[in-house]
Amino acid sequence: MDDARHDDLDALVDAIPEGWSRVRIDGQDWGVTRTTRAAGGVISVDADRLADDERFGANVWRTSDGTVLRPCEVPPEKVMHFLRAASTAFSR
d(CA 49, CA 89): 15
d(CA 62, CA 91): 22
Q: How many distinct structural domains can be found in the chain?
A: 1
Beta-sheet strands, E only, within 1-92: 4-5, 19-25, 28-37, 42-49, 55-63, 66-72
Q: Which domain holds residue 15?
A: 4-90
Q: How far is CA 77 from the centre of its chain?
A: 11
pTM score over 0.85: yes
Tell which residue, 9, 16, 12, has the closest CA to residue 63.
9
For residue range 26-83, list pLDDT tens digits in order: 999 999 999 999 999 999 999 999 999 999 999 999 999 999 999 998 999 999 999 9
CATH number of domain containing 42: 3.40.1420.10
pLDDT at 92: 81
d(CA 28, CA 80): 17
